[in-house]
Structure 1
Amino acid sequence: MSAFRRVGSEGEPLRVIQVGAGSMGQAWIRNDAANPDVELVGIVDLDLDAARAGAAVYGDDSIAVHTDLAALIAQVHPDAILDITVPVAHHPVTTDSLLAGLPVLGEKPAAQTVAEALSLAAAAEVTGELFMVSQSRRYNDQLVAFKQAASRLGDLGTVSTEFAKAPHFGGFREEMDNVLLLDMAIHPFDSVRYLLDRDPVSVYCDSYNPSWSWFRGDAAASVIFEFEGGIRYTYNGSWCAPGLETSWNGAWRISGAAGSALWNGDDEPSFETPDADPAPLAAQPSVGAEIAGSLAAFVRALRSGETPDGEVHGNVMSLAMVEAAIESKDQGRRIAIDDVLERAYETAVRSERRDDVRARLESWTSVRGALQGVPVTA
């Protein structure tokens, strides 16, 4: 990936437009208001009443609102864009923002498909602007401690996550295909990449819908990923599992040559290394919590130029894990991640409407290399 433009400095709030003012959008607006390094200067929503309601949540009815992002950018001249729209809108909103010369922090997933996410990675390269995906569950001090515990275990062999919840969302989630994999599993898939500092090689997935499920699409899945170095990651999850529910973060176990570590998702992790140093984990600087942590990281990255967790090139692989798992369950066989990436790349090149972005994509000599920051352009 190429370096991105630095924006802002200490003592000056980052002036942002937020696109999307629905229920998640309002949570983000409260998040904006709680961060002294951010000033919300505009809200875009197709429903102007929702945008006005968002301004009231922020505590400033004078905030500019609009249904058109380009018009509001011209009006208020922001420093950055927060894309808190539904997934189908992520690609157009982020593309338009980057090409307007503005960095973007967007809700997960990066886009609806890996192909669209690759297009956004190329657009970020063309424009020199930061596109960061808010993979918010990475911002958890207990997860950081769990990664530290994993470093005490020697060569790692297996990682597992058990996830069991029974939410009644109503609305679009209960009508989605592959609801668990698409809407929730991306979080642990992304977290395991963080824990291992490795990327997946292949996946086998079986998803299903228990007879009592209130979801139309599959609300449960069992998934096995092979990671670089032969490490196996297993995910067993359900969104229709009432009683004895896990944390929203899931219940985790890592096993290695020297011992094992556990994390229940809500409390500090524990580890045991029978033949090694039992010294406690050293305290680490806080990374913040969930969307507050991701917003703070976005501001910090723009000021410092340091690549944040969730930068689009690094985040695409988490979405590829979801897409590969769905393809595996549809075809009933093991799927190679590189095959998913190559097919997505071909689709991205074929579908790209902007000549400069298509040319950037075509200059990549390796998709995985481009995502990992290896110099692979011609």
Structure 2
Amino acid sequence: MVLRIVQVGLGGWGKNWASHVVSQNKDVEAVAWVDVHEETLLGAQKSLDLPAERCFSSLKCALEEVEADAVLVTASLPGHVPSALEALNAGKHVLMEKPFAPTIGEARQIIEAATQHNRIMMISQNYRFYPAPRVVADLIRKQELGPVYAVNIDFRRYDNVAPKGSYGHYIIWEPLLADMSIHHFDLMRMVLGQEPQEVTCKTWNPPLSNYTEPPTGTATITFDGGTVVSYRGSWVSTAPQTNWAGEWHMECEQGEIIWTSRGELPEYVQVRPRGKRVRSIKLPDYPLTDRSGSLNAFVQAVQSGQEPETSGRDNLKTLALMYATIEAAGSNRPVKLTAE
């Protein structure tokens, strides 16, 4: 059965979803497109050659006019909660971009609505859908080199070329921790198979930065299995850039696991047993990666009725880590996370 989807949010990222992800999936049919901004809607209609009668300024109108099974939310953060609740209360499944809510309380509202209406609500944590993190998670689960006790992660990019405060990325809220590091936080949980307990963080805005809010930060995160993660990220680094997933060095009892994923540099996983040479691990072929992998997992969850691994219920823990890190940076003190 083909899943009929209404897409909400047709800015630059939303248009990319429409043209490069949704349209390429044979198990999905886009039946309507929504954006509250008339100019954005008309621009997408023209550039994507969308039928005018299937383009709407509100999700409510779209759901009244077309038959749909699910809603894809690619709008900016302020549109996430109202779109998700509208869709779930109309009995539709929901796939959303991250971060999926501006507060933990609102995130819980969405999760409760999905439970009440027995619908799938999934977050597109697309960095999970690559071979390297899957292979590493398996190595850790099997304790190939024993327990992990320390992890060092570096993310470096120089995205600082537009005039200060000019547009989009340069003026968004928490451009590092909320827009980028949330991917790394989610990978930490996935790969380690542990949950965060405490975080400290320092962010800053270097003199060379064209960002309104801090694009650079460092954090220390303690997990419930005893692993301590040292994390560094920057949008304005002049050092060699990393892949989008960052560079990972995972120190285990019997050696080290080194890996990277998603980017211009080759994806790889290497293991260095203590006292021995580094060896590379052959990565499996993944026909669908990144957002295509997310969308495919969503379709499978809807068809099977099984909760996906990045359901809202699970991703709430990633969201909580993101907000705890932001709180730690703002308060200059450690922040504890609880199981609740």
Q: TM-score, normalised by structure 1?
A: 0.81
Structure 2: distance between partners of 1:40 and 1:179: 30
CA distance in 2, matches of 1:251, 1:225: 17
Q: Are the aligned partners of 2:256 and 2:274 in contact in 1 as well (CA < 8 Å)?
A: no
Distance, in Å, in 2 between the alignment partners of 1:283 and 1:262 is 14
2:309 matched residue in structure 1: 309
Aligned equivalent of 2:237: 241
Structure-2 separation of matches of 1:55 and 1:245: 36
Which of 154, 157, 170 is matched with 1:165 structurally?
157
Amino acid at match of 2:150: T
The CA distance in 2 between the partners of 1:32 and 1:63, in whole Å, is: 19
- Counting only pairs closer than 5 Å after superposition, residues 152-301 of structure 1 correspond to structure 2 as 152-168=144-160, 170-265=166-261, 266-274=266-274, 281=281, 284=284, 286=286, 288-301=288-301
Which residue in 1 is equivalent to 2:66?
A: 76
Deviations 1:12-54 (A, max 9, x none): 2111100111101111101111111110110011234533543
Classify 1:274/1:32 alpha carbon distance in 2 versus 1 (closer, same or farther; 3 Å). same
Task: State the shift of 1:159 in Å.
Answer: 1.5
The Cα of 1:60 is off from its aligned counterpart by 4.8
Superposed CA RMSD: 2.2
Which residue of the partner structure matches residue 351 of structure 1?
Answer: none
- CA offset at residue 177 of structure 1? 4.3
Deviation, 1:89, is 1.1
Q: 1:262-313 CA deviation, whole Å, 9 max, x = no partner?
A: 013342110122489x997576562721111101110011111222221001
Q: Could you tell me how far apart the structure 1 residues matched to 2:299 and 2:88 are?
A: 16
Q: Quick check: 1:22 aligned with 2:45?
A: no
Show the counterpart of 1:110.
100
Instruction: Please give the alpha-carbon distance, in whole angstroms, between the structure 2 residues aligned to 1:216 and 1:185.
Output: 17
Q: Distance in 2 between matches of 1:190 and 1:182?
A: 12
Give CA-to-partner distance per residue, 1:101-150, whole Å, 9 cap, x none: 00000111111122211111111111111110111111111221222333
Runs of 5+ consecutive residues of structure 2 not aligned to the other structure: none
Aligned to 1:121: 111
Counterpart check, 1:130 vs 2:120:
yes
TM-score, normalized by length of structure 2? 0.90
Cα pair 2:328 2:334 within 8 Å, conserved: yes
> How far apart, CA to CA, are the structure 1 residues paired with 2:196 and 2:314?
13
Q: How many Å separate the matches in 2 of 1:241 and 1:274?
A: 32
Q: Deviations over 1:216-235 (max 9, x none)?
A: 21111110111012211111
Q: Rate the CA distance shift 1:280–1:221 in 2: closer, same or farther, 3 A.
A: closer
For the 8 Å contact 1:83–1:105, the answer to whether it is kept is yes
User: Which stretch of structure 1 is more off in the superposition, 306-315 or 163-172?
Assistant: 163-172
Relative distance call for 1:54 and 1:35 in structure 2 (3 A) is farther
CA spacing shift, 1:128–1:215, aligned 2, 3 Å: same
The answer as to whether partners of 1:109 and 1:319 remain within 8 angstroms in 2 is yes
Secondary structure at the aligned position of 1:249 is classed as coil
Identity %: 27
CA deviations on 1:68-114 (whole Å, 9 max, x unpaired) are 21111111120100011101110111011001000000111111122
Aligned length: 329
Mapped contact 2:31–2:54 kept (Cα < 8 A): yes
Q: Residues of 1 paired with 2:158 and 2:210: CA distance?
A: 10
- State the distance in 1 between where 2:250 and 2:40 align: 44
Unaligned regions of 5+ residues in structure 1, if any?
1-11, 339-367, 370-378
Contact (CA 8 Å) 2:269, 2:281: kept in 1 or not? no
Q: Point out the more displaced range, 238-247 or 264-273.
A: 264-273
Cα deviation, residue 333, structure 1 = 1.1
Which structure is higher in helix share?
Answer: 1
Distance, in Å, in 2 between the alignment partners of 1:64 and 1:331 is 47
Q: Assess if the C-alpha contact under 8 Å between 2:120 and 2:305 holds in 1.
A: no
Given that 2:132 and 2:283 are in contact with CA atoms closer than 8 Å, whether structure 1 keeps it comes out as no
Cα shift at 1:331: 1.5
